[in-house]
């Protein structure tokens, strides 16, 4: 009886210790909110995730996530799980709120809020992160941006569109990321929905279309896309891949048979946007370019 009891007790103790350690690791990730911009009496929030009481001396990498929603809906919380994952791995992570193309009554389109304002906001958010790099012990040359759906268009917008800046921004701070992550990302804006949202400003549709403004020396990018995506057709990201490579930019495309716009459909761990396999490939990309 005694010989059998101790191994069982040891086994249960190890399980208890493992659970406690896991709980402690989760408790170490601190979620805070900061106002990164006030425009027209609207306070825009950036959610931050960092390790509590971190004492590391070496500056760390950062990942800024941008939600999708067709420029008119969506919320930062869809990336909170991914933020916590990467924060627990030593990153400083962020999820951005930006103005949506609707008025206070929820009417779409709104004459004052269009995809152009979305671009303005994410570029402001990037400047905020870089200008606060010391506060979060971030290496300002190791800031990655990632987004889902139109969050992909906005991710690319941080690396392009030099002339589209909020008047209150400090233009001496660059919004250009050091790497880009595209999850079912929207490569261009030449579509009926964006035209509708732009309304009287539709003549500017070309100016915020990443695929039509690709240039050399863009940050390295990795893209994940389903071949059965009916929201953002696969041919669009394949065309973007061609444009990027023609400009001698690094662009790594992972295509998935029989997957649609939500690559993690059926698994809500990461709001159906991602899954563990996609995140592992993202990790490999981050290691390749020295972010991990």
pLDDT along the chain (292 residues), means of 10: 39 37 58 96 96 76 97 96 96 97 75 93 98 96 98 98 96 98 98 94 96 98 98 98 98 97 95 97 98 94
Q: Which pTM value belongs to this model?
A: 0.89
CATH code for the domain of 191:
3.40.50.1820
Assess if residue 179 is contained within a domain.
yes
Q: Residue 109: which residues within 8 A CB-CB, separation 6 or more?
A: 72, 101, 102, 196, 197, 198, 199
Q: Quick check: is 15 in a domain?
A: no
Number of domains present in the structure of the chain: 1
pLDDT reported for residue 41: 87
Nearest residue to 114 (alpha-carbon basis) of 37, 231, 199: 199
Going across the sheet that includes 138-148, the strands are 29-39, 42-51, 92-96, 60-66, 138-148, 179-183, 221-226, 251-256
Q: Indicate whether 192 belongs to any domain.
A: yes
| Residue numbers of the domain that contains 170 | 27-288
Q: Is residue 66 part of a domain?
A: yes
Question: Does residue 9 sit within a domain?
Answer: no
Evaluate whether residue 207 is within a structural domain.
yes
Rounded Cα distance between 41 and 28, Å, is: 34
Taking alpha carbons only, the member of 127, 198, 125, 116 closest to residue 161 is: 116
Q: Are 98 and 125 in contact (CB under 8 A)?
A: yes
* Residues 56, 119 contacting (CB under 8 angstroms): no
Dump pLDDT digits (tens) for 232-275.
999 999 999 999 999 999 999 999 999 999 999 999 999 999 99
Considering the domain boundaries, does residue 4 fall inside one?
A: no
């Amino acid at each position: 009886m005694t010989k059998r009891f101790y191994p069982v007790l040891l086994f249960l103790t190890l399980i208890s210790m493992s659970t406690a350690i896991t709980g402690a690791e989760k408790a170490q990730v601190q979620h805070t909110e900061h106002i990164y911009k006030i425009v027209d009496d609207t306070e825009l929030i950036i959610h931050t995730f960092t390790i509590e009481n971190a004492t590391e001396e070496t500056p760390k990498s950062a990942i800024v996530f941008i939600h999708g929603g067709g420029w008119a809906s969506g919320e930062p919380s869809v990336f909170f799980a991914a933020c916590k994952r990467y924060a627990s791995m030593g990153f400083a992570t962020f999820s951005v709120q930006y103005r949506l193309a609707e008025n206070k009554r929820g009417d779409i389109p709104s004459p004052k809020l269009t995809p152009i304002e979305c671009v303005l906001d994410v570029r402001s958010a990037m400047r905020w992160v870089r200008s606060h790099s010391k506060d979060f012990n971030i290496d300002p040359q190791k800031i990655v941006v990632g987004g889902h759906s139109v969050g992909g268009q906005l991710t690319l917008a941080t690396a392009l569109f030099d002339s589209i800046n909020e008047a209150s921004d400090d233009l001496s701070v660059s919004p250009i990321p050091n790497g880009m992550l595209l999850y079912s990302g929207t490569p261009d804006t030449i579509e009926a929905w964006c035209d509708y949202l732009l309304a009287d400003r539709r003549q500017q549709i070309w100016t915020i279309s990443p695929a039509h403004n690709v240039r050399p020396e863009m940050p390295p990018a990795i893209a994940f896309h389903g071949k059965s995506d009916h929201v953002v057709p696969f041919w669009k990201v394949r065309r973007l891949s061609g444009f990027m490579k023609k400009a001698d930019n690094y662009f790594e495309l992972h295509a998935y048979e029989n997957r649609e716009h939500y690559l993690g459909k059926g698994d809500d761990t990461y709001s159906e946007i991602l899954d563990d396999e996609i995140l592992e490939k993202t990790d490999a990309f981050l290691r390749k370019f020295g972010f991990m």
